[in-house]
Amino acid sequence: MAYGQEKISGMLALGLCNGFATCLILVVLGLRKWMRLAFTMGDAWLAIALLFNALRMVGDYYINEFGTPLSISMYFATASTDGNISDLMLPDDIQDGLVLAGKLMVLARVSIVFVIWSLNMTFLDVMSASLPRDFQFKRQTFWLMYAVMGATFSTSSISVFLECGDLKLNWTLFPEADKCSYGSLWIITYGLSSL
């Protein structure tokens, strides 16, 4: 549970990052429309990135507002004197918020994977259009890049769902912390795959 200054700084950081990405995408799409340029596959990828960035913003808001069940259980486990967190009672609205935030955490992670890979696909579309038609091995090079992008996208997306032994542990109140990797599996896979 983030309180006071932590909650404000978290919302400010999320708002700046997500808002900046949204503004950049809208500016690019707006300029292309204003200049009357033809709609390309790269523009479609930008629109997909915009949609999933909006979903990510919703998920991030609730995660910042309530925390996640795993982060709360870790907080209470380290804060309690005897280490027993099963006796702790949270108000119903906080419990409902934690469950919703846990579910939205999965959506936010999938959304960020879609955003990054949609932007990468936009870049590949721009690169494909900017290279001369007679560029040697152009077609093979881009098919290889698309295959690598598909494989890394699949790997990153699947790692979101494999992070906890059971997907339901993401939104179970007070899950056993040793059954979830607390984001490290997803972050490592996502970070290495997005390179």
How many Å apart are CA 65 and CA 86, to the nearest integer? Answer: 22
Task: Assign 47 a pLDDT band (cuts: 50, 70, 90).
Answer: very high
- Asked whether the CA dihedral 36, 41, 43, 47 is positive or negative, the reply is positive
Identify which has the larger pLDDT, 73 or 144: 144
Domain positions in the chain are 5-193
The mean of the pLDDT values for the chain is 78
Residue 109: pLDDT above 80?
Answer: yes
Q: How confident is the model at residue 65 (pLDDT cuts 50, 70, 90)?
A: confident
38: Cβ–Cβ under 8 A, 6 or more apart, which residues?
Answer: none
Chain CA centroid to CA 107, Å? 7
Characterise 91 by phi-psi region: left (phi > 0), alpha (psi -120 to 50), beta (else): beta
Is pLDDT at 1 greater than 50 in this prediction? no
How many Cβ atoms are within 10 Å of 92's Cβ, its own excluded?
A: 8
Q: Tell me the residue ranges of DSSP E strands in the chain.
A: none
Farthest-apart Cα atoms in the chain, separation: 71
Q: Per-residue pLDDT averaged across 69-94, rounded?
A: 63
The 10 Å Cβ neighbour count of residue 175 is 22
